[in-house]
Amino acid sequence: MSPALRIKWCILRTSIAERLAYRGDFAFATLVRFLPIVTQVFLWGAIYKATGPGDTTVINSYTYGDMVAYSLLVMVGRAFSSMPGLTTGIARDIRDGTIKKFLIQPIDMLDYLFWHRVAHKLVYYVIAFVPFALVFWLCGNYFRSWPDNVTLIGWGLSLVLAFMIGFLIESLMGLVAFWFLEVSSLVFVYMLASYFLSGHMLPLDWLPSPASDVIRLLPFKYLAFVPAAVLLNKYDHQQLLIELSLGFGWVIVLYFLNRLALARGLRRYSAYGG
């Protein structure tokens, strides 16, 4: 194993051990995250009931069952793309000077943070697998049909994109701290915008043109909407390939911006003291 791979494996193994040190608290926090889906089910039930009688009511091509399925799949996508504490953690390290450890050790900061988050997601899904399986089993009737193999592979790739784009966006915001001491306002604006632009609040295909056409060119849709739309068969195979290609294009762009921000930021960074 090369030195670079040994470093990555060491970061991953250490981060997993760190997460498992407080596994009881981590498991409780994970289970609590499932509570909002109950609210979503009742909320959409009330909306569809008020709109028309029966389970065949359709709003913007979505039945009530489609919306419940969409909400469940959005929850899965957001579990991959959300990076709690990443932006503020980077900003704190820059502000407090803790970032110096990445300058004097042979460890790349972005590489370390990436594998640290991979470890977090691995532990999260080991703990959350049973609750996820139970929720999807209970709501299995809301899914119209089992997708084909190409769609399942596309869904898996869309979840990888959700993780990578979510990580790169939030790490880029954290690197802004090289120029601004406080980024909490930026994080607040991002959370509000992401909740809408990612399709977390409403499916993006509910939005009218030309607004929806512009929003679909942005990377935010990969955080929630695209993984859900793929498994709901909203894309044929050709459209799926185009969406995934555009997503990987955004990964390259965001990675380049992260590297540029880190390089420029370190040029102007100054740290004093022991």
Q: pLDDT tens for residues 48-106?
A: 877 766 556 788 788 888 888 898 899 889 889 989 889 999 998 888 888 888 888 77
The mean pLDDT of the chain is: 84
Residue 224 is predicted with a pLDDT of: 93
Give the mean pLDDT of 113-136.
Answer: 82
Other residues' Cβ atoms within 10 Å of the Cβ of residue 209: 7
* Stronger pLDDT, 94 or 139, i.e. the higher one: 94
* Stronger pLDDT, 171 or 95, i.e. the higher one: 171
Are 155 and 227 in contact by the 8 Å Cβ rule? The answer is yes
What percent of the chain stands above pLDDT 90?
30
Residue 85 is predicted with a pLDDT of: 87
Confidence of residue 162 (pLDDT cuts 50, 70, 90): very high
Of 58-62, 190-194, 195-199, least confident by mean pLDDT is 58-62
Give the mean pLDDT of 178-185.
Answer: 85
Q: Does residue 15 have a pLDDT over 80?
A: no
Specify the length of the chain in residues: 274
Q: Does residue 172 have a pLDDT over 80?
A: yes
Q: Is the dihedral of CA 118, 120, 123, 128 positive or negative?
A: negative
Q: Does residue 26 have a pLDDT over 70?
A: no
Q: Does residue 273 have a pLDDT over 60?
A: no
| Residues contacting 70, CB < 8 A, separation 6+ | 62, 203, 228, 232
The span from the CA of 19 to the CA of 23, in Å, is 7
Strand-pairing partners, residue 62, are 59
Measure Cα distances from 234 to 107, 190, 220 in Å: 42, 27, 18
